[in-house]
Structure 1
Amino acid sequence: MSHNNDKNNGSHNEISLCVTQALDRYFSDLDGEKPVGIYDMVIREVEKPMLQSVLRQTRGNQTQAAEILGMTRNTLRRKLTEHGLL
Structure 2
Amino acid sequence: MPRYQVCEEGKMLPWGKGAEVLRRAEEILSSCCEMLSLPPKAISKSGREWIRKISWEDDAEMRRAIFYAALVSPSESIEAVHFPPRRWKDGEIFAEFDFKRMAIDRIMEEKISHFFERLGKVSATGLYRTVIRQVERPLIEECLKWSGGNQMKAAQVLGINRNTLRKKMKEFGLE
- Short-chain TM bin: 0.7 to 0.9
Q: Which has the larger radius of gyration?
A: 2
Which whole-Å deviations, capped at 9, do the CAs of 1:41-73 have from their partners, x for residues lacking one?
110100000001101110000000000001111
Backbone CA RMSD of aligned residues: 1.4
* Cα distance in 2 for residues equivalent to 1:53 and 1:16: 17
| 1:22 and 2:115 aligned | no
Matched with 1:80 is 169
Alignment partners' CA distance in 1, 2:130 and 2:107: 15
Q: Does 1:50 align with 2:139?
A: yes
The structural deviation recorded for 1:31 is: 2.3
For the pair 1:38 / 2:144, whether they are aligned, the reply is no
* Runs of 4+ off more than 4 Å: none
Instruction: Decide which structure has greater helix share.
Output: 1
- Once residues 69 and 27 of structure 1 are traced to their aligned partners in structure 2, the CA distance between those partners, rounded to angstroms, is 29
Structure 2 residue runs of 5 or longer lacking an equivalent are 1-99
Q: C-alpha displacement at 1:36, in angstroms?
A: 1.1
If the length of structure 1 is used for normalisation, what is the TM-score?
Answer: 0.82
Amino acid at match of 1:44: R
- Match of 2:103, SS? helix
- The alignment covers a number of residue pairs equal to 75
- Residue 32 of structure 1 deviates from its aligned partner by 1.4
Q: Percent identity?
A: 37
